[in-house]
Amino acid sequence: MRPDEHDSSYLWDMLIYSRKVVGLVRGIDFPAYQGNETLRLAVERAIEIIGEASRGVSQAFKAAHTEVPWKPIAAQRHIVAHGYAGVVDDKIWRVATQHVPALIVLREPLVPELPPIDSPDAPR
């Protein structure tokens, strides 16, 4: 199933912010991540956006693409947004360095080619 315009927008956001997460943690190790509050907050926010965007994807599209772990993605967003006091650095690190890169591989084939960044059709 190819995404409609509605789903495409959310899938673009998921892919864009997944790539941002990978870029943020590229070339650093866990102690460096843990010692940089600004970085931790940026990664957590990007993960929250990925989860929020996943919630906007239609049930029909999700049902057609069960290879994507939709519920865990949304659940992680819920933890970051609402259970912020319980956010554990090593779990977010694992999400950022293992799960998000794996999800990029799953999502890239689902997302139509992005328009040029200066195009009025570019994602927000």
Give 109's DSSP letter.
Answer: G
Give the angle 100-104-109 at the CA atoms, nearest 5°: 160
85-109 confidence digits (pLDDT tens):
778 999 999 999 999 999 999 888 8
Distance CA(121)–CA(116), nearest Å, equals 8
Distance CA(110)–CA(54), nearest Å, equals 13
14-55 confidence digits (pLDDT tens):
999 999 999 999 999 999 999 999 999 999 999 999 999 999
Entry pTM: 0.84
